[in-house]
Structure 1
Amino acid sequence: MQIEAILNKLHISALNEMQQEVLDKFQEKENLLLLSPTGSGKTLAFALALMKTLKPDATDIQALILVPTRELALQIEQVLKKVATGFKITCCYGGHDTKTERNNLKNPPAILIGTPGRIVYHLDGKYINTDQIKTLVLDEFDKSLELGFQDQMSFIIDHLQQLETRILTSATAMKEIPDFTGISSSIEVNYLNHIQSAPALTIKKVVVPVQKKLEALFNLLCKIGNQKVLIFCNHRDAVDHISELLQNREIIHDVFHGGLEQSDRELALLKFRNNSNHILITTDLAARGLDIPEIDAIIHYQLPYKEDDFTHRNGRTARMQAKGEVFIILKPEEDYPYVSNEIETEQIDGDYDLPKNSEFATLYISAGKKDKVNKIDIVGFLLNLDQIEKNDVGIIEVKDRESFVAVKRALVSTILKHSNLGKIKGKKIRILRS
């Protein structure tokens, strides 16, 4: 395993202490219990461990990774495609076309990633052969239990008769590991109370009457300015209510919650990653396991009921050994046991300018990896257009049949005007505003 090459692909200079310990301790045909905070890099850690179990000459599925959400499944797929080069990886999840998944499974992958319900579907339909599955990863296992997937996970594990290795990850401590996992003994790597992995957070509060909460949020966003901000709500209607306010003020943002179509959720995260917007309003769906780059500030418009959920939300900022700000908007009568009364109050009664919108916007291109199109092809195509310079092109994400590119917002109309009849790798393409 070429660690340096993997790190280069992931744009990481070195493994962190937790990841290195997993790599050093884990051996094939052993069980691993990995306990580490949100944002500490568990996906890469278990991916490196998984690589020790894969055989290049196997002809069927070797490893199954079970995850609680489709977004997490897609994130793991992205990481593994950079780590497990040479091995086919397939992702199955609710909301994805089952026919496409069945076709993908006809030529079995080495690694199968999926949500419990969708894996049960494929097992029931006999679309999955489990005879060569030697490794099981239960990622974000605590979240899977919280979401009620115990029976489905138990059903799946009962079908895995050839398991030699079980890897379980969790962002919270567990009193005991359920028997259905089959983990009676394991190597443990526990960084939940590790000082170096604890996020360096500055937490402040804004206390206002309920009828002033939206106004307070708006003033806080203006005071924060042009930083990258994640706003957490407990309910979808609160997300939509805040979105309407920002839309009326022409502040570019996106929303992310379970009521959206999967494609819209993926696009919202993509645009947040590539800096096409600085503000994402979300429910706890974005609290864990998502590939969201470093965020400057978290705002809790509504606080969660459990301290663990509060911790996971805050893990979106102040990634391992980094810093971040957390703001809590409270009503005067609200009292949460996990929120100290000593927290500093943030003053928001000043005269603030509106936050500036991002200078980038996202364009959709109707070609991807399966059309032999890569990032260099897209950059070359754009630079051949009039008035487009290298600095005008931002982050590019190339998917199987489509690509998304961040470009200077002021140049979007120019690009759309001059690219209607364009070709990349001899293929006619469509470019649309996302």
Structure 2
Amino acid sequence: MPSAQPNSKRKLHLANSSSRKKAKIEHRNADELPWKTVTRPFEAGMGGDDGIMELEEVEGVEVVYETTDGGRVAKFNVLGEKSDDDEVEQEVEHESDEERDDSPILVDEILAFDSENLLPNWYKYSLHPQLSRALHAKSFLSPTPIQEVALPTALAGRDVIGVAQTGSGKTLAYGLPILHHVLSQPKPSPKTKRPLSALVLAPTRELALQVSSHLNALLNHFEEFSSEKTVKKSSNPATTDGKMPTKKPPPHVSVAAIVGGMSSQKQRRILDRGVDVLIATPGRLWDLMEDDDTLARDLKNIRFLVLDEADRMIEAGHFAELENILRLTLRESAEDQIPTEFDDDGEPIHVEEEDSKEGIKKDDLQTFVFSATLSKDLQRNLKKRSRSKGSKKHYKRNEAPASTLDDLLLRLDFRDPNPEIIDLSPVGGLVSTLQEGRIDCLIADKDVYLYYFLLRYPGRSLVFLSSIDGIRRLMPLVELLNVKAFPLHSQLEQRQRLKNLDRFKNTANSVLLATDIAARGLDIPAVDHVIHFQIPRSADTYIHRNGRTARAMRKGFSMLMCAPDERRLVKALLGSLNREESEIPEMAIELSMLDKLKARVQLAKQIENTQHKIKKTNHDRNWMQETAEALGVDLDSDFISDSDDETKLSNQKRKAKDAKMAALKAELKRLLSQPLIAKGISTRYITSGSRPIVDDLLAGELNESMLGLKKAEAGSDVAVPKKKAKRKEQWKKKQKDKVKETKKAKAED
């Protein structure tokens, strides 16, 4: 077979610059280069009669271009053997490298950590040194009750179903065993794709991103620590030669979140590189799996499966993709597998397959299910009227049965025949550090009472509404009243949702108007108040809403705004929690202040209604014209004439409306500038009047927004009923007894 021409050669392997300096260079023509014949790969479609007769390649050649009168000419330099002088020069360089102390850092040197003395409460779990160091750096000196009970079982490889109050540390209860396992494995090679080890499913985007940030926080501390030591080692200018430091190596553990509202292409690239721990919402994960069979195969071999806030994901009409994802995690038992080998007696031989990389069985799956509520009775929609006991229940044709938590547990592929069930939920769903209060008012007056509460008790307030329309109505109203407020609902773009969350976290006295997407799992630091502007539809939603405050044993306050039409709903809500309506006391309201606030709110509503009408009229007219232009259709003459007439009259009307709007805004500005003075305060002499404020003013205890009222926490204006106080004491005792019983059972085992 004749050889191919020089212009058909496949590639040239170029030597690096350091080799060029220390090698003999031989100039040759292209035909004189040391070509090597290579086989044609069938995978690339080059194995048949495709017109290519032969492929050749060459190594150790440098291509140099020289400019001549005839243009650019390529010359080939063959890099030969090193001379004796070059070897001596390399030895000298090697000696100088030893003097620079540029040796790599040992991992053991970085991970050395005295957890027995620094973290005595964590030492018994024998966690990876990296995790112990991160826990100490973040001042997590003791495990929470749910972590103390769940960690021994989880680290032993058993399945865990955990129920604990919000803010109790459930994320680390399942996150620490997962990270401990992955960190204990050899560090993956950067040339190979990481195998997926754990899948964490969460119901909302915000919760998935939060779980990812919590787990990465434990890992990033080690990466920063090792990077600092590397910089110190290589800080000598002689070692860097003025160049940038070496590229940071890939992390030992990779944690990524896959959620909707973000670029799916970027998320696909993250998955293609390989992830150890994947946190995802079911919807986006299923969308990516439909176009990626590799991801579906990876799910069949995962080591950990976690369902965070599991009860939310099984509500009727939610997360239809969840069942499809769970089916991929189901694995055949030894009895169900089709045997491939038989012994001499014809009996099938079942061979246990093992993963050569991790040394674990392929069907070894550990499942964690965590939530603050796992009772299907709490998921009942309270707004649906219950049928009478004597009436028969009729089902519609093709109506699917309601999904329950029991159905979910049956669908999960528990490897453990008896999963460890840990129930540390508080009595009545009430956290011990949470105070509750109630305001009974008309629906039309809820805006005024909310405004009063925000001025009377400054702080971060999370206001829950059941509908997006309610947020859109309330948002401009509170902005006109100079209240810093941010919306959060499902129709906002993901970037805007995260931006509003960050603003709320970083603003001391602010309000977050949110739907129930913010009720699950979000750990927002220092939320002072949770306000139920609209009553939740189910008891578990009420528990999760309250869980946004009073987290990690901090104080918090929950206020229920109840209209007369909602009394029945509140009674059913508390009945589901085995509580009485009288257990939530009514808050004391300064009625003299309330009357002054009504004028402000009514004026703000009038301005908002006028602005809304103007915006709606302009939007409808512009939409009609833009649609007609896009379709190439001429508008009706009547519409045009009406528009012309409106245009002629619009100048006069617009001036009149603008003047009226300016007057209303000026009046509202005047009312907002006036101080709110409580009844009995003298405006001339602060030492006189029935309520002197001199002492409070000098002590700095005066409410700046409402003169005459002291600075106070929301819980100080409600009286705790004796029955409620008794329930708290019973709950505390029950929590201690549960922990003692668990420890005793572990010791006996």
Pair in the same fold by TM > 0.5: yes
Name the structure with the higher helix share. 2
TM-fit CA distance, 1:240: 2.1
TM-fit CA distance, 1:150: 5.8
The code of the aligned residue for 1:345 comes to E
Query: Which residue matches 1:5?
Result: 133
State the Cα deviation string for residues 30-82 of structure 1 (Å, max 9, x = none).
21111112222111211112124323446311111111111111001101102
Are residues 164 and 280 of structure 1, via their aligned partners in 2, closer, same or farther at CA, if it must alter by over 3 Å? same
For the 8 Å contact 1:38–1:316, the answer to whether it is kept is: yes
Alignment: residue pair count: 353
The code of the aligned residue for 1:278 comes to S
SS in 1 for 2:558: strand
TM-fit CA distance, 1:163: 4.9
Given the alignment of the two structures, is residue 245 of structure 1 paired with residue 380 of structure 2, yes or no?
Answer: no
Q: Which moved more, 1:340-349 or 1:110-119?
A: 340-349
The code of the aligned residue for 1:110 comes to D
Matches within 5 A, 1:14-413: 14-54=142-182, 55-57=185-187, 59-84=194-219, 86-126=252-292, 127-128=294-295, 129-130=297-298, 132-146=301-315, 148-149=317-318, 151-160=320-329, 161=331, 162-174=363-375, 176=406, 177-183=408-414, 184-193=417-426, 198-224=431-457, 226-275=458-507, 278-335=510-567, 336-337=570-571, 338-339=573-574, 340-342=580-582, 343-348=584-589, 349-351=591-593
TM-fit CA distance, 1:179: 1.7
Q: Which has the higher contact order (CA 8 A, sep 6+)?
A: 1
Two-structure CA RMSD over aligned residues (Å): 2.5
Query: Which residue matches 1:383?
Result: none
State the Cα deviation string for residues 125-172 of structure 1 (Å, max 9, x = none).
225241541111111111111264564222212223445111111221
TM (normalized to structure 2)?
Answer: 0.45
For the 8 Å contact 1:256–1:280, the answer to whether it is kept is: yes
The code of the aligned residue for 1:42 comes to K
TM (normalized to structure 1)?
Answer: 0.75
Query: Which residue matches 1:426?
Result: none
Determine the C-alpha separation between the residues in 2 that align with 1:31 and 1:77.
Answer: 22
For the 8 Å contact 1:30–1:164, the answer to whether it is kept is: no
TM-fit CA distance, 1:289: 0.9
In terms of Rg, which structure is larger? 2
Q: Which moved more, 1:70-79 or 1:192-201?
A: 192-201
Are residues 324 and 79 of structure 1, via their aligned partners in 2, closer, same or farther at CA, if it must alter by over 3 Å? same
Q: Which moved more, 1:245-254 or 1:276-285?
A: 276-285
Q: Which moved more, 1:342-351 or 1:192-201?
A: 192-201
Unaligned runs of 5+ in 1: 355-434
Q: Which moved more, 1:70-79 or 1:15-24?
A: 15-24
State the Cα deviation string for residues 240-260 of structure 1 (Å, max 9, x = none).
222211110122121111111
Determine the C-alpha separation between the residues in 1 that align with 2:564 and 2:428.
Answer: 33
TM-fit CA distance, 1:329: 1.3
SS in 2 for 1:53: helix
The code of the aligned residue for 1:202 comes to Q
SS in 2 for 1:351: helix
For the 8 Å contact 2:533–2:561, the answer to whether it is kept is: yes
Matches within 5 A, 1:420-431: none
Are residues 258 and 301 of structure 1, via their aligned partners in 2, closer, same or farther at CA, if it must alter by over 3 Å? same
Determine the C-alpha separation between the residues in 2 that align with 1:195 and 1:56.
Answer: 46
Q: Which moved more, 1:147-156 or 1:318-327?
A: 147-156
SS in 2 for 1:113: strand
TM-fit CA distance, 1:120: 1.4
Name the structure with the higher strand share. 1
For the 8 Å contact 1:199–1:322, the answer to whether it is kept is: no
SS in 1 for 2:436: strand
Determine the C-alpha separation between the residues in 2 that align with 1:101 and 1:52.
Answer: 25
The code of the aligned residue for 1:179 comes to L
TM-fit CA distance, 1:196: 12
Are residues 92 and 197 of structure 1, via their aligned partners in 2, closer, same or farther at CA, if it must alter by over 3 Å? same
State the Cα deviation string for residues 289-325 of structure 1 (Å, max 9, x = none).
1121131111111111212111111111111433221
TM-fit CA distance, 1:21: 1.8
Determine the C-alpha separation between the residues in 2 that align with 1:141 and 1:299.
Answer: 25
